[in-house]
């Protein structure tokens, strides 16, 4: 499941609607919605995110969060290490091999390291 799929599922749960009802309202197939929720589709388009926001009456600040989450929801990620030191490429490849073996605590620790490395947000 992707972060966007998880967010959509939670929105549906709160509103009490099925995938079929939501799919019909958004003009997509239930299969597409299911695949999106389960991370079997690429990240959604801006147009689709806007339709979801309209369907759930999402306010601007929450729409920004939903768009940010959608940006983190590509189920197949490519990390371009061309031009970087070999250590970067080795780390990217190791992460690709090992990510399925990491527990949530380890994921949170890695996320914290990346947040620290990114520095303060503007």
Over the chain, what is the mean pLDDT? 89
Listed by start position, the domains of the chain span 3-71, 86-118
pLDDT digits (tens, 9 = 90+) for 49-92: 999 999 999 888 888 888 888 888 877 788 899 999 999 999 99
pTM comes to 0.66
The CATH classification number of 3-71 equals 1.10.260.40
Alpha-helical (H) ranges within the chain are 3-15, 19-26, 30-38, 46-55, 60-71, 86-98, 104-118
């Amino acid at each position: 499941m992707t972060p966007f799929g998880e967010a959509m599922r939670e929105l549906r749960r709160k509103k009490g609607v099925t995938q079929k009802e939501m799919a019909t309202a958004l003009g997509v197939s239930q299969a597409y919605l299911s695949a999106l929720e389960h991370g079997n589709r690429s990240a959604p388009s801006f147009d689709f995110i806007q339709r979801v926001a309209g369907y759930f009456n999402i306010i601007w600040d929450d729409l920004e969060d939903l768009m940010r989450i959608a940006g983190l929801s590509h189920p197949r990620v490519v990390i371009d290490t061309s031009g970087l030191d070999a250590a970067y490429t080795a780390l990217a490849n190791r992460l690709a091999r090992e990510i399925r073996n990491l527990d949530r605590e380890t994921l949170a620790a890695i996320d914290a390291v990346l947040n620290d490395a990114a520095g303060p947000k503007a």
